[in-house]
Structure formats: structure tokens, C-alpha cells
Amino acid sequence: MLPFLLSLILFQAVAPAPTHAVFESVVNLKGGKEVGCTILLTFTSPAPGSAITGWIEKHDFFPIDSGQVTESGFTFQATGNTYQINTRNKRFTYGGPDGAGDKLLTPMEAITGRVYKIREETDEGRDLTLQTDHGDMTMLVSSDPEPVLWKHSGPPIQKFHLERLEEILGKTTTAWRTREGGTYTIEVIEEPEGMDLPARLPKEPKKKK
């Protein structure tokens, strides 16, 4: 009994933490219209054949029905379509009821740290400073579009309004950023541990006149 318990404890101690990956690309909707999309993937091992879960955005976020890690990236099914991500040549291919396509893929870069400072909103958005193991890092959180909040459970919040950033002030999180020119922009924010942020804040009761 004791060896079994020790092996169980050891297995739990070394069990890999979920790994995330985030990408941007373009997809077809029914009727042929193209829209930008964000892809949020979770997996426990980079080994080919390992299962993946996550979400794909097509106006709204839809869950991935099934998928796996491949030699060149990922493949998955969602909303009746099959999608393939090739991280080597940065291509995103798909086919199904919504049509077929072969598009450029943009991987996002993850930065983990404590949300230390959030500046007032400007026309471009708000600057957010993370305290990381490599020092403070300040990045822009764009106002157009507003960032996605990747929740622990349930659908992502598609537009996490900038005035709500104070809700994660002082919390440790992972922000996913892209670079355009010399500016890094945060486009996806992971929900900090221990939080369950609602998609919409409750309306304040009307004050009696």
C-alpha cells in the first residue's frame, strides 16, 4: 500500500501543467465572408498525438470539439470544419462547410508577471506594466479591438473592456502579445488564478430622484 501511495504522490508532483498557445489568422464564414480570428489552445504535452482543447473565434468563440498535436503543429475540428496549424511555415489551412482556405498564421508571445501598473486610457488604449522575472515590461492594451480574456472555465470574454483592467491589478497573469512595427500590443489576457470574472458586470441600481 505504501509504495502505491508514494508512486501516486510522485505522479501527481510531476504531472505536467497545461501548456497554452495562441494564434491569430483569418477564417471563412458561411457565405464566403472572411473574418479575423483568435485561436486559444491548451495541451499537456508537445508530443505528437497529445490531445488539445480550446477555442476558435469566428465573430463568437466556439469550442474545439477534438484535436491533437502534430509533427508540424496542431490539427483540430470545430463547428464542422477541420483546421490545421503549421507552426514551421506559419500557415493556417482549413476546410469544411464554411469553405476552404490557406492563410498566414501569427503566433502570439506569452509574458507572465504581476500586473503592477495600469495607465489612464488614451485614444490608442491603456499601457499595462507587468513585473516579470526579467524586470518590468510595459505594453499597450489596445482599445480597437479590446483584449480577449481567456477564462479558466467557460467561453472567453471576447471584449474585456479597458475600464475593467483594474480588476486584475496586483494579480499574476499571462498576457499574449503581438508586435507591429516597434509596438507590442496585448491582445489576450489569461484570467488570474482564483478569479472567476463575469462576462458582464451587474448594472448599478438606478438612484431615486
pLDDT of residue 4: 40
Q: Which residue has the cell 489569461?
A: 190
| Residue 72 backbone class (left: φ over 0; alpha: ψ -120 to 50; beta: rest) | alpha
Judge: domain 109-190, CATH 3.30.950.10.
no
Q: Where are the alpha helices (DSSP H) in 15-104?
A: none
Distance CA 119, CA 186 (A): 14
Per CATH, the architecture of 16-107 is what?
A: Beta Barrel (2.40)
pLDDT of residue 141: 95
Report residue 3 CA to chain centroid gap: 40
pLDDT of residue 9: 37
pLDDT of residue 131: 95
Q: What is the pTM of this model?
A: 0.86
pLDDT of residue 71: 95
pLDDT of residue 2: 44
Q: Show pLDDT as tens, one digit a residue, over the chain (209 residues).
A: 544 433 433 334 444 567 999 999 998 877 778 889 999 999 999 999 999 999 999 889 999 999 999 999 999 999 999 999 999 999 999 999 988 899 999 999 999 999 999 999 998 899 999 999 989 999 999 988 899 999 999 999 999 999 999 999 999 999 999 987 778 899 999 999 999 999 887 766 565 55
pLDDT of residue 81: 94
Domain boundaries, the chain: 16-107, 109-190
pLDDT of residue 38: 96
Phi, psi of 117 (to 5 degrees): -150, 140
Distance CA 94, CA 53 (A): 17
